[in-house]
Structure 1
């Protein structure tokens, strides 16, 4: 090597000029070194020829997606050259492990398997998880999460047969234009980089995986990619020592097992101009002698132009060994490399003893990872075992913890008072609705727009006109690259538009790009709300949307400075848990495997046995939605799949979702009493047999009321035709109530229904008997007490505030028929398939508006009201109902009379009756809810903070289809929820 003779002088000069700083951490040696002179290492050394010992220091590139010819080439290197290890690149876990098993079988000495998996297996392998890039991890304030990442990444790598991760990157990225490190760095703050690096390293090493801190002595301040050329760093030694090398020193002292050396030209450390990978002054002089590092020293890939330019294959590998490296990554010409190192030994450039010590070090590392007792690994269930619920949950936790709020003027985040907002969302750089926009719509009605990256001024102007109808604009700024590059490809018109929106009073932006690129958009720092996610994935989009509405919080801190706009460390805390959080079961302490398998299999059984064509299920625990899925089709013979935003007829769940919350609120205001009776609010009933019966008895179904009245039958003559004052084929002023396409009801017929209720006889005995009669009267009672239209009252006081936009009556007035799931083919009354109108005959004769039935909703919007109940009257910081009122209404009212019901709410049977019970065995006695005739169930368990919604159309094609009851699907699924908590 050309610089060898200069080494002593240069090294002496360096340390005379600037002594290295004292280390902060007490020094710990790498654990694997304890095996350097073990019996196993001794035994292996005895079997190795001089050339085979050199080969132990060589690792070649291996792929699991390159076919049989590539496999033959690797096997040839193993059989003929006796290489020491493999560095795996593209492929998939199963194929990789199958190959590695074969390679290990062919190898004389077990092979060391390595990978560049900085953000997990997803960096290299298909069908695996990509965790956040290190720039995002740098924003996290809880280092224990980074440790957990290390543990999980180690588990996954080991499951694919590997032993060494070329991570963490501990380069301090202080150059925004760095093309090769950048988002791969924890940031620009040396202490933060060191702390995160140590946490990640310890997590992996505590899980028995070797690590490699990179790229020594620091690749952060370059504007050249060493894959393509040799970057030069011209800082003085003091700066390099105190900044670039600081994290490496900290990781070395913390017991890091490996260090990877970069391909860099650093005149202050070696004036000869050779790459640092080939510099004895840097590797032996500084890393080994001065920093005292005794672990594995690994080269960066030996095929990169930063080291290969001007250096011949084999010769360059020899120079790397002479410089002090222990492992050569990605050697291009293995026979030549072995030959050149052999020559160097003969020439006395390196002694056999010195080389043997490095071989022992490599073998010791192999023993530490268990290769002295190597066993073939099974590929069975490998994908499931890698992509576990815990692994997915960790990814969400890391993304959530990295969310950084840079602006939050007037505490706009999280959004409140949804009933005052008309919201538009714009996804910049997208051409169709994004996950960000879909997730925003989980919380409120948000109109979605998209702006192409190259949009013209005319296209922008057209959108501006549409935005005039909205008082809040939420922008998502998206990336067009797989990696978050520091680039800006938006047209001038788009950038100007973003700047203009930022100056509006109510503008929120979520930035899904590289943070450095924020500096390229003038004015974005003026936005009322500004969120930084560091990269663009479905998970970052989803959680950013949840942050805006308070489903999650944020406490991330910016790990780099962004021009003059923001400084490293900037960020504001925003509290979460305001509204429902959409997450994975493990976030709520539930087992995703038990939950998803159990629910999916029961739903598939129900659909297969034609108990229902499809359905929606939503499960929330601790205010966290852990399952939200759509199953099957709208009809058995249909091709329209159920979607999560389709609306279902809620049937009797309307009872607890419409008049009931209204009456509880009116009770809180002193305007309604459970001790009062119907005639107290509707004088028409004063002289009826219903007078004086208290509402507590009525709503607990213990008022002796008849179960139901077939109102529609009273409209028929003996010959089957309709009486003249009941129905007409066409609408008119006298017949305005639509019952079906060619059936319109007389405007006064509701009075006849009330009369029928008034005159109906009472049962002989005051005991539990389910009756819907009083619920037809409740809307009129709410109107009488409040002085407001019933629908307006419940919309303004509940649904609008909750953001439950689909929860309402007569959905055809607001939604396309294709979004509404059909119910029964009515051959008795309407003689048509029922689609878009309420199934219940009495409710449709009330104009579709009744407290007995009539509400439609998605599971998601119904969940908001039910979660308010589960929260004992509050949601999103607003109290809707007093807690004492809710606790009273949801408790069993007349247990001594063998009546299990609450006030309006259903409750578990007083004694569990097995499959004949109305709830799962494990549902607590404190739980409450309701079921619906069309195949609905809404149930809440305050003891477990558990919400369960089951929406279906089991009445298709006919109400005589009772298979859903026979299979007991709803309560069996409910039991799965409790099983998943165990």
Structure 2
């Protein structure tokens, strides 16, 4: 074969192979460019894989969902209340927990109990009463109780101000000067509350003392400086957390600017929301960010915010828009005692309870007439005034707090 023929044949083969070579080059290039990067893939898989914390949260959510589905409406409504042991037993038992408590908890599986000085005779009596109540509750109810008390330190201390209890007595909060003192307050009170059997304390006081005519929180508020109050609140919370005590910041949106006492009747602040944000709301926000599980609503009126004299504890705007949406609170909202004058002088027990739940509260603390309030909520659900879905929202928050805080 001549060189000429070989050259022609070579050119022919080259032309035929060229497309194949080009295609192979493109495929190889694409493979190199788009080849899965093992590191990226692993990171992506790790990112998409739930963390142990997320898995635990999903487990808790599912357990709560299943429990709520198994509850009767009567059980759900009872869970919304915290009352005194004497109210639970119709006055039969206020310093002991016996057959009266056992039978009452079967009929009314309430969310919790609150104890006052008259209920607390001595350390051993208190421990026995709480332990017996806990045992009776576990026999008929799978949901644990809140065992609560007002132990702020200083003037409002149901235990420390009782001479039968040898615990540290603190000066009034307005005499505290350093955050170290605030931490010691929480740590000390938390230790003896846990020892006695309590798991919920209505503290810290997050009020800012901004009105010299105010007598309600004068001795109970840390300061007139909102930033100092905020720092004190956070440190006090840190002390309590050493002992796994659930806390309730109070009294939202701040009782420090009022001149009257909601224990005895109407009280209000003339401040606007913008003014509250510059002062009274600062400690609450800091406390919420620090992990407060509960916030107590005050019965004060805020007409320059909502346009009427509806107490904040019954106000949908104050609870849902201000506390939940603006302050970012996802936990349990509890009313201040519904037997206080600001409520009981203006609303029947059933009406106050209904308005509080409609407003967004989760727990109804001490209605003046528990049985009337309980039946009132049941009837409101039956007639559609309150949806069962709304009740379930509160029960979900209550059960979540109990699941994550009470080793249940």
- TM over 0.5: same fold? yes
Report if the CA contact (8 A) 1:114-1:163 is conserved: yes
Residues 1:80 and 2:130 aligned together:
no
Give runs of aligned pairs for residues 495-644 of structure 1, distance below 5 A. Answer: none
SS of match in other structure, 1:243: coil
Q: In structure 2, what is the Cα distance between the partners aligned to 1:302 and 1:123?
A: 24
Higher relative contact order, structure no. (Cα contacts within 8 Å, ≥ 6 residues apart)? 2
Q: What is the TM-score normalised by the length of structure 2?
A: 0.76
Moved over 3 A (4+): 33-44, 66-77, 123-126, 346-350
How many aligned positions are there?
337
2:23 aligns with none
* Contact residue 263 and residue 277 of structure 1 kept, 8 A: yes
Deviation at 1:126, TM superposition (A): 3.4
Q: Does the CA-based 8 Å contact 2:101-2:136 persist in structure 1?
A: no
Q: Kindly indicate whether the alpha-carbon contact (under 8 Å) linking 2:168 and 2:188 is maintained by their aligned counterparts in 1.
A: no
Decide whether aligned partners of structure 1 residues 302 and 154 sit closer, same or farther in structure 2, where only a CA change above 3 A counts. same
Match of 2:297 in 1: 261
3-state SS in 2 of match to 1:260: strand
Shift of 1:73: 6.0
- Aligned-CA RMSD value: 2.6
Taking the TM superposition and a 5 Å limit, the aligned residue runs for 1:729-768 are none
Q: Distance in 1 between matches of 2:407 and 2:381?
A: 28
1:37–1:360 Cα contact (<8 Å) kept: no
Q: Please give the residue correspondences for 1:680-759 in structure 2 after superposition, counting only pairs within 5 Å.
A: none
Contact 1:60/1:86 (8 A) holds in 2: yes
Query: As a proportion of its length, which structure holds more helix?
Result: 2
In 2 relative to 1, CA 41–315 (structure 1 residues): closer, same or farther, beyond 3 Å? Answer: same
Name the CA distance, whole Å, in 2 between partners of 1:44 and 1:85. Answer: 18
Aligned pair partner of 1:294 in 330, 334, 349:
330
1:283 to 308, 319, 331: 319
Shift of 1:175: 1.9
Distance in 2 separating the partners of 1:255 and 1:273: 31
User: 2:333 matched to 1:310?
Assistant: no
| Alignment deviations for residues 207-254 of structure 1 (CA, whole Å, 9 cap, x no partner) | 311111110001001221111011111123321221111211221122
**Distance in 1 separating the partners of 2:76 and 2:268:** 34
Q: Does structure 1 residue 202 correspond to structure 2 residue 238? A: yes
Q: Deviations over 1:185-226 (max 9, x none)?
A: 001001000000111112213431111111000100122111
* TM-fit CA distance, 1:295: 1.0
What is residue 97 of structure 1 aligned with on the other side?
A: 127
CA distance, structure 2, for counterparts of residue 153 and residue 317 of structure 1? 31
Structure richer in strand, relative to its length: 1
Partners of 1:366 and 1:252 in 2: CA distance: 17
1:114 aligns with 2:148: yes
**8 Å CA contact retained: 1:36, 1:360:** no
1:527-559 deviations in whole A, cap 9, x for unaligned?
Answer: xxxxxxxxxxxxxxxxxxxxxxxxxxxxxxxxx
Q: Show CA shifts across 1:263-285 (max 9, x none).
A: 10110222221111111111112
1:501-543: CA deviation from partner (whole Å, max 9, x where unpaired):
xxxxxxxxxxxxxxxxxxxxxxxxxxxxxxxxxxxxxxxxxxx
Instruction: Give the superposition deviation at 1:39.
Output: 5.7
1:167, distance to aligned residue in structure 2 (A): 0.3
Deviations 1:894-923 (A, max 9, x none): xxxxxxxxxxxxxxxxxxxxxxxxxxxxxx
Paired position in structure 1 for 2:168: 129
Deviation at 1:255, TM superposition (A): 1.8
Q: Secondary structure, in 3 states, of the residue corresponding to 1:118? A: strand
CA distance in 1, matches of 2:104, 2:58: 27
Match of 2:275 among 239, 261, 267: 239
TM-superposed deviation, 1:333: 2.6
Aligned CA distance change for structure 1 residues 124 and 359 (closer, same or farther; 3 Å): farther
Partner-residue secondary structure (3-state), 1:122: coil
> What is the rounded CA distance, in whole Å, between the counterparts of 2:125 and 2:91 in structure 1?
10
Cα distance in 2 between the residues matched to 1:134 and 1:115:
17
Question: 1:314 is paired with a residue of what secondary structure?
Answer: helix
Q: Determine which structure has more spread, i.e. the larger CA radius of gyration.
A: 1
Q: Which residue of 2 aligns with 1:189?
A: 225
SS where residue 82 of structure 2 aligns?
Answer: strand
